[in-house]
């Protein structure tokens, strides 16, 4: 492409030579899977080895990524797209295998930004052990997208004996989180509103498949796994309480929160329990296995700050109750609408 | 009203103070608290310092809490109905 | 976090609860006039901790909840005009007016921008000289000085496109209206800590002197609130003539308050009548930009016209009664029956500090 062509233009989505150029010079510069490089209309997954170990169950997920800003401390939309997809599969106990990526580019997007995003996507996929085997690009008019929208689909295989579902929590189970809550959402919000600069707020965006595999080797009978993304931990817990028809009790003081997140939350009037995470999971496991799972998590780099935060109970089914630092109890509902910074 | 958070002034540049907490940094206006200096803690509301915290008063409040704690323990220790009291009298 | 964590010690909090129950010779009621207190009391479960001896009532202290439909309608009308951007604190975005909210208007193309600070709005005005930036001046005495400072900043920068639409209200008139109406029994007042850091605690002297009721100025951490309620319990044991204002937030509050802020408010604003949801129009209870700042006054500069504002509470909404402390949120027939944070009918449910929202999120019934 000529030097003066520093931005995405409508022609890049037309299917002609400009499209071909952007695919070759940006996407395929970084995404190098042989199936993708063949540039067929679809990838045929004809090597049977990827189905092992498995009892034939395939996990399939889809997601779209619309984050703004596109690049933030700790990651970017490319990294986020891979992590989100891989983590959705991992939350069902699946080993992530393949992904598709569809890019919707806004006319005027800087090619340098696009290059960075795609490079990051490729690196993250490599680190997570997932193959990006098929992709698509479209370009829309200026103003119709926030720079880049990414849609993905992911396929994984579920080993036999793994039954992880939001319906499986039972009274007596222990609830664990893999680390501190609120890092991603607070980072995005403060970046977006120009609220903070400098300091240690960083997205926690990372793939969790490896952590989950370690946990499952230690205890194949994990009942529930959830990654608390939009709506935060509180919303994820509410979903489980409802789907399993159980009560959930958590101890507020036991939920880990980094100092920087706590400070930013206090300043903006936000509650970390409702803030998105992109590199954390919540696990509900039988009581007798809890300590071992916790130990296994803490030994893994992505679970170093893992903690027990509460229990599943029979009382108040469908409700999440938090014990406050005063020892009093209050209900924590699903997030309703967006959490906005407040002054009062 | 309401949401104001105590933050430490790390540096002052005219009417602008840089505050930090938990490693997060932000510039705020000191227009309402021109007396604020580096090292002071200020209450920050919507990007403005509205008050400089009085360290001495803060310590006095905490000292009162400590006295309350002492007094409660003494009462418990003397009360035969509590374990402490029973042991003491034992 | 320094100056925060030390005031959240669970052991101290429990001791204070014990001390309150010991000091209280009989059950008493305390009303708070600050949305931040509503929120903190709920968040830390203080109502439950004290339920055996103390009734905690929520007064009209949520600035968003007391904003009248007329003001919200005007803000929406301005945002819908080409060439105008309305900047607002997040609290106001979902509050319903007569027909719509700022958020709903934004979804239809109105230019609404959430800001953390009025200075952000000033900077946005400076960056785009072609647009008029109207900052919504919401809040009581804590926020008004910051809005005043933003006007002075715009003036110093020579901006011709920064305006303020003032909906600011003052706390003492609301207190006087509630206590004067005699609709409910209030034994004591929990003084708003951050408003008082501006006004000084002497501003509440009228409460013990004219009404015989004690007032304790309180911060927002659990032990701050409990210390203040303890001071109230002790004060109620004294004869009415000896009751005073207690300053249990001494680290942030002085007798005279912040004189720089008060001077700035007096310079930029003048007292005016204001329309309060639930209380009607109260004389001298609001702030409007003074005549020397007419060029920055959205109310003077922009012709707003008839907005067909409805004043009746929509659909059986009882926010006005909740705001006056006449009913607790669960007593409103719409509470949880049609009105909830996802689908709020009135402002008390929309605002994070509204009594109904706090009750819904924190006060649910437990087995």
Task: Kindly state whether C143 is in contact with chain B, defined as any CB-CB distance less than 8 angstroms.
Answer: yes
C89 & C164 share domain? yes
Alpha carbon distance C1, A263 (integer Å): 8
User: Residue for token digits 């500069």?
Assistant: C301
Q: Which residues of B touch A269 (CB under 8 A)?
A: 3
Rounded average pLDDT over C175-180: 90
What crossing angle do the helices spanning A209-218 and A290-299 adopt, rounded to 10°?
Answer: 140
C90/A326 CB distance under 8 A: no
A302 neighbors B40 (Cβ within 8 angstroms): no
Burial tier of A2 (Cβ tally within 10 Å: 0-12, 13-18, 19+): exposed
Cβ-Cβ contacts under 8 Å between A and B: the total is 54
B57/C264 CB distance under 8 A: no
From C139, C184, C161, C193, select the one nearest C324 (Cα to Cα).
Answer: C184
Cβ contacts of C331 within 8 Å, gap of 6 or more = C318
- Which residues in A have their CB inside 8 Å of a CB on B? 190, 195-201, 258-264, 266-267, 269, 342-344
From C319, C303, C299, select the one nearest C311 (Cα to Cα).
Answer: C319
The pLDDT mean for chain A works out to: 91
Rounded average pLDDT over C154-174: 97
A132 & A179 share domain? no
> How does pLDDT run across A65-93, given as a tens digit for each residue?
999 899 999 999 999 999 999 999 999 99
Question: What's the pLDDT score for residue B90?
Answer: 42
B35 & B67 share domain? no
B22/A267 CB distance under 8 A: no
Question: What's the pLDDT score for residue B1?
Answer: 45
A152 & A178 share domain? no
Structural domains in chain C (count): 3
Assign A3 a pLDDT band (cuts: 50, 70, 90).
low
Alpha carbon distance B16, C172 (integer Å): 32
From C231, C192, C199, select the one nearest C213 (Cα to Cα).
Answer: C231
B82 & B63 share domain? yes
**Chains in contact with A, where contact requires at least 3 CB pairs less than 8 Å apart:** B, C
What residues of chain C, 344 to 363, have a C-beta less than 8 Å from chain B?
A: 353
Task: Show the 3-state SS of chain B.
Answer: CCCCEEEEEEEEECCEEEEEECCEEEEEECCCCCCCCCCCEEEEECCEEEEECCHHHHHHHHHHHHHHHHHHHHHHHHCCCCHHHHHHHC
Give the residue with greater pLDDT, C216 vs A46: C216
> How does pLDDT run across C36-57, given as a tens digit for each residue?
998 899 888 898 899 999 999 9
Question: What's the pLDDT score for residue C314?
Answer: 63
A199/B25 CB distance under 8 A: yes
Relative to beta strand A224-226, strand A307-313 is unpaired
B46 & B63 share domain? no
Which range scores top for mean pLDDT: A142-151, A283-292, B50-59? A283-292
Single residue among A99, A134, A158 that ends a domain in this structure = A158
Relative to beta strand C215-218, strand C245-247 is parallel
Alpha carbon distance B90, B80 (integer Å): 9
Q: Which residues of C touch A343 (CB under 8 A)?
A: 89-91, 138-139, 143
Task: Kindly state whether B82 is in contact with chain C, defined as any CB-CB distance less than 8 angstroms.
Answer: no
B44 & B66 share domain? no
Asked whether residue C15 carries a pLDDT value surpassing 80, the answer given is: yes
Question: What's the pLDDT score for residue C184?
Answer: 82
Q: Which residue of A has its CA nearest to B4?
A: A267
B44 & B82 share domain? no
Question: What's the pLDDT score for residue B83?
Answer: 61
C361/A194 CB distance under 8 A: no
Question: What's the pLDDT score for residue C362?
Answer: 67
The length of chain B, given as a count of residues: 90
B22/A263 CB distance under 8 A: yes
C39 neighbors C358 (Cβ within 8 angstroms): yes
C341/A193 CB distance under 8 A: no
Asked whether residue C124 carries a pLDDT value surpassing 80, the answer given is: yes
Asked whether residue A58 carries a pLDDT value surpassing 80, the answer given is: yes
Partnered with residue C100 across adjacent β-strands are none
Picking from B1, B32, B62, the nearest residue to C149 by CB comes out as B32
B50 neighbors C249 (Cβ within 8 angstroms): no
Asked whether residue C149 carries a pLDDT value surpassing 50, the answer given is: yes
Asked whether residue A4 carries a pLDDT value surpassing 60, the answer given is: no
A266/B2 CB distance under 8 A: no
Classify residue A289: in a domain, yes or no. Answer: yes
Q: Which residues of B touch A263 (CB under 8 A)?
A: 5, 7, 21-24
Picking from A197, A260, A342, the nearest residue to B3 by CB comes out as A342
A180 & A151 share domain? no
B9 & B43 share domain? yes
Classify residue A1: in a domain, yes or no. Answer: no
Task: Kindly state whether C262 is in contact with chain B, defined as any CB-CB distance less than 8 angstroms.
Answer: no
C142 & C270 share domain? yes
C13 neighbors A325 (Cβ within 8 angstroms): yes
C177 & C164 share domain? no
Assign A14 a pLDDT band (cuts: 50, 70, 90).
confident
Question: What's the pLDDT score for residue A201?
Answer: 87
From A262, A266, A280, select the one nearest A74 (Cα to Cα).
Answer: A280
Rounded average pLDDT over C288-301: 97
C91/A342 CB distance under 8 A: yes
A306 is in which domain, residue-wise? 174-331
Rounded average pLDDT over A315-321: 94
B81 is in which domain, residue-wise? 56-89
Picking from A268, A316, A343, the nearest residue to C366 by CB comes out as A316
Q: Which residues of chain B, if any, have pLDDT below 50?
A: 1, 89-90
Task: Kindly state whether C35 is in contact with chain B, defined as any CB-CB distance less than 8 angstroms.
Answer: yes
> At CB < 8 A and 24+ separation, what contacts does C230-236 make?
C230/C16, C230/C19, C230/C20, C230/C23, C232/C28, C232/C30, C232/C187, C232/C188, C232/C190, C233/C20, C233/C23, C233/C24, C233/C28, C233/C53, C233/C54, C234/C23, C235/C188, C236/C24, C236/C25, C236/C28, C236/C187, C236/C188
Classify residue A278: in a domain, yes or no. Answer: yes
**Chains in contact with B, where contact requires at least 3 CB pairs less than 8 Å apart:** A, C
A180 & A72 share domain? no
Question: What's the pLDDT score for residue A198?
Answer: 59
Question: What's the pLDDT score for residue C367?
Answer: 43
Picking from B43, B47, B64, the nearest residue to C252 by CB comes out as B43
Q: Which residues of B touch C253 (CB under 8 A)?
A: 51
A264/B44 CB distance under 8 A: no
A152 & A193 share domain? no
What residues of chain C, 171 to 210, have a C-beta less than 8 Å from chain B?
A: 192, 194-195, 197-198
Classify residue C51: in a domain, yes or no. Answer: yes
Question: What's the pLDDT score for residue C281?
Answer: 92
Burial tier of C353 (Cβ tally within 10 Å: 0-12, 13-18, 19+): buried
Task: Kindly state whether B18 is in contact with chain C, defined as any CB-CB distance less than 8 angstroms.
Answer: no
Classify residue C252: in a domain, yes or no. Answer: no
The pLDDT mean for chain C works out to: 91
Task: Kindly state whether B55 is in contact with chain C, defined as any CB-CB distance less than 8 angstroms.
Answer: yes
Alpha carbon distance B3, C37 (integer Å): 10
Classify residue A76: in a domain, yes or no. Answer: yes
What is the distance in angstroms between the Cα of B90 and the nearest Cα belonging to chain A? 31
Question: What's the pLDDT score for residue C130?
Answer: 95
Q: Which residues of A touch C17 (CB under 8 A)?
A: 326
Which range scores top for mean pLDDT: A240-254, C84-98, C320-334? A240-254
C274 & C286 share domain? yes
Picking from B6, B46, B54, the nearest residue to C146 by CB comes out as B46
Rounded average pLDDT over A119-123: 98
Longest pairwise C-alpha distance within chain B: 66
Backbone torsions φ then ψ of C41, nearest 5 degrees: -60, -40
Picking from A197, A261, A269, the nearest residue to B25 by CB comes out as A197
A83 & A223 share domain? no
> What is the DSSP annotation of C236-255?
HTS-GGG--EEES-TTT--S
Task: Kindly state whether B43 is in contact with chain C, defined as any CB-CB distance less than 8 angstroms.
Answer: yes
Question: What's the pLDDT score for residue C341?
Answer: 80
C237 is in which domain, residue-wise? 5-63+171-247
What is the distance in angstroms between the Cα of C16 and the nearest Cα belonging to chain A? 11
B10 & B49 share domain? yes
Alpha carbon distance A88, A145 (integer Å): 24
C324 & C262 share domain? no
Q: Which residues of C touch A331 (CB under 8 A)?
A: 361-364, 366
B20 & B60 share domain? no
Give the residue with greater pLDDT, C186 vs A193: C186
Count CB-CB contacts under 10 A for residue A299. 12
What residues of chain C, 92 to 131, have a C-beta less than 8 Å from chain B?
A: 116-120
What is the distance in angstroms between the Cα of C341 and the nearest Cα belonging to chain B? 21
> How does pLDDT run across C215-273, given as a tens digit for each residue?
999 999 999 999 999 999 999 999 988 899 999 999 999 999 999 999 999 999 999 99
A136 neighbors A103 (Cβ within 8 angstroms): yes
Asked whether residue A344 carries a pLDDT value surpassing 90, the answer given is: no
A196/B1 CB distance under 8 A: no
A200/B44 CB distance under 8 A: no
A154 & A179 share domain? no
Asked whether residue A339 carries a pLDDT value surpassing 80, the answer given is: no
Classified as helix, coil or strand, C48 is helix
Q: For residue A222, give the CATH number of its domain.
A: 3.90.650.10
Q: For residue A64, give the CATH number of its domain.
A: 3.30.1330.10
Task: Show the 3-state SS of chain A.
Answer: CCCCCCECCHHHHCCCHHHHHHHHHHHHHHCCCHHHHCCCCCCCCCCHHHHCCCCCEEEEEEEEECCCCCEECCEEHHHHHHHHHHHHHHCCCCEEEEEEEEEEEECCCEHHHHHHHHHHHHHHHHHHCCEEEEEEEEEECCCCCCCEEEEEEEEEEECCCCCCCCCCCCCCCEEEECCCCCHHHHHHHHHHCCCCEEECCCCCCCCCHHHHHHHHHHCCCCCEEECCCCCHHHHHHHHHHHHHCCEEEEEHHHCCCCHHHHHHHHHHCCCHHHCCCCCCCEEEECHHHHHHHHHHHHHCHHHCCCEEEEEEECCCCCCEEEECCCCCEEECCCCCCCCCCCCC
Asked whether residue A176 carries a pLDDT value surpassing 60, the answer given is: yes
Question: What's the pLDDT score for residue C312?
Answer: 59
> How does pLDDT run across A204-259, given as a tens digit for each residue?
999 999 999 999 999 999 999 999 999 999 999 999 999 999 999 999 999 999 98
| ipTM (interface predicted TM) | 0.92
C150 & C263 share domain? yes
Rounded average pLDDT over C63-68: 89
């Amino acid at each position: 492409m000529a030097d003066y062509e520093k931005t995405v233009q409508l022609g890049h989505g037309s299917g002609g030579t400009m499209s071909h150029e952007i695919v070759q010079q940006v996407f395929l510069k970084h995404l190098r899977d042989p199936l993708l490089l063949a540039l067929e209309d679809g990838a045929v997954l004809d090597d049977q080895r990827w189905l092992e170990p498995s009892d034939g169950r395939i996990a399939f997920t889809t997601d779209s990524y619309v984050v703004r800003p596109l690049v933030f401390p700790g990651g970017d939309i490319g990294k986020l797209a891979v992590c989100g997809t891989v983590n959705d599969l991992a939350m069902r106990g699946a080993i992530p295998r393949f992904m598709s990526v569809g890019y919707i580019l806004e006319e005027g997007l800087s090619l340098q930004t696009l290059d960075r995003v795609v490079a990051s996507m490729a690196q993250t996929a490599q680190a997570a052990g997932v193959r990006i085997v098929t992709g698509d690009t479209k370009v829309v008019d200026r103003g119709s997208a926030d720079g880049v929208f990414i849609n993905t689909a992911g396929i994984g295989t579920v080993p036999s004996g793994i039954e992880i579902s939001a319906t499986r929590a039972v009274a007596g189970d222990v609830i664990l989180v893999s680390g501190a809550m609120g890092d991603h959402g607070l980072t995005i919000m403060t970046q977006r509103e120009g609220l903070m600069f400098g300091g240690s707020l960083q997205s926690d965006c990372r793939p969790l498949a490896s952590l989950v595999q370690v946990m499952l080797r230690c205890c194949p009978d994990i009942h529930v796994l959830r990654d608390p993304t939009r709506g935060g931990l509180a919303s994820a817990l509410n979903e489980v309480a409802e789907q399993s028809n159980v009560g959930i009790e958590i101890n507020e003081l036991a939920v880990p929160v980094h100092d920087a997140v706590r400070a930013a939350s206090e300043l903006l009037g936000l509650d970390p329990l409702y803030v998105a995470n992109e590199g954390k999971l919540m696990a509900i496991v039988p009581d007798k296995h809890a300590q071992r799972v916790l130990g296994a998590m803490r030994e893994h780099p992505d679970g170093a700050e893992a903690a027990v935060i509460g229990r599943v109970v029979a009382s108040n089914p469908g409700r999440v109750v938090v014990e406050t630092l005063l020892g009093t109890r209050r209900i924590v509902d699903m997030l309703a609408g967006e959490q906005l910074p407040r002054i009062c | 009203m309401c949401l104001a958070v105590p933050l430490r002034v790390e540096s002052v540049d005219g009417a602008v103070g840089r505050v930090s907490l938990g490693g997060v940094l932000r510039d705020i206006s000191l227009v309402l608290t021109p007396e604020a200096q580096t090292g002071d803690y200020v209450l920050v509301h919507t990007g403005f310092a509205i008050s400089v915290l009085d360290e001495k008063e803060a310590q006095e409040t905490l000292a009162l809490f400590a006295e309350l704690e002492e007094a409660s323990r003494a009462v418990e220790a003397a009360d035969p109905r509590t374990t402490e009291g029973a042991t003491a009298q034992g | 976090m320094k100056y925060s964590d030390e005031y959240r010690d669970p052991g101290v909090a429990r001791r204070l609860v014990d001390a309150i129950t010991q000091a209280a010779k009989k059950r008493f009621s305390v009303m708070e006039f600050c949305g931040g207190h509503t929120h903190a009391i709920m968040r830390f479960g203080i109502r439950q901790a004290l339920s055996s001896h103390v009734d905690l009532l929520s007064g009209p202290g949520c600035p968003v909840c007391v904003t009248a439909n007329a003001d919200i309608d005007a803000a929406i009308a301005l945002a819908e005009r080409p060439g105008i951007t309305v900047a607002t604190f997040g609290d106001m975005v979902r509050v319903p007016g007569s027909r719509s909210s700022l958020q709903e208007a934004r979804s239809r193309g109105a230019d609404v921008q959430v800001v953390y600070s009025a200075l952000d709005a000033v900077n946005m005005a400076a960056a785009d000289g072609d647009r008029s930036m109207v900052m919504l001046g919401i809040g009581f005495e804590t926020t008004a000085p910051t809005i005043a400072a933003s006007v002075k900043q715009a003036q110093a920068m020579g901006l011709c496109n920064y305006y303020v639409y003032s909906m600011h209200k003052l706390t003492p008139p609301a207190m006087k209206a509630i206590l004067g109406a005699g609709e409910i029994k209030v034994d004591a007042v929990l003084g708003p800590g951050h408003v008082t850091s501006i006004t000084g605690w002497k501003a509440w002297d009228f409460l013990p002197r004219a009404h015989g009721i004690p007032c304790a100025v309180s911060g927002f951490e659990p032990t701050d609130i409990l210390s203040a309620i303890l001071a109230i319990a002790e004060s109620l044991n004294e004869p009415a003539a000896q009751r005073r204002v207690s300053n249990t937030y001494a680290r942030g509050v002085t007798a005279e308050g912040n004189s720089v802020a008060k001077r700035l408010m007096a310079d930029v604003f003048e007292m005016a009548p204001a329309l309060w949801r639930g209380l009607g129009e109260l004389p001298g209870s609001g702030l409007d930009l003074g005549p020397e700042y007419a060029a920055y006054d959205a109310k003077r500069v922009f012709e707003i016209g008839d907005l067909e504002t409805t004043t009746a509470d929509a659909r059986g909404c009882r926010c006005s009664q909740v705001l006056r402390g006449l009913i607790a949120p669960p007593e409103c027939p719409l509470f949880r029956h049609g009105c909830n944070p996802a689908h709020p009918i009135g402002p008390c449910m929309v605002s994070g500090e509204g009594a109904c929202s706090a009750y819904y999120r924190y006060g649910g019934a437990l087995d």
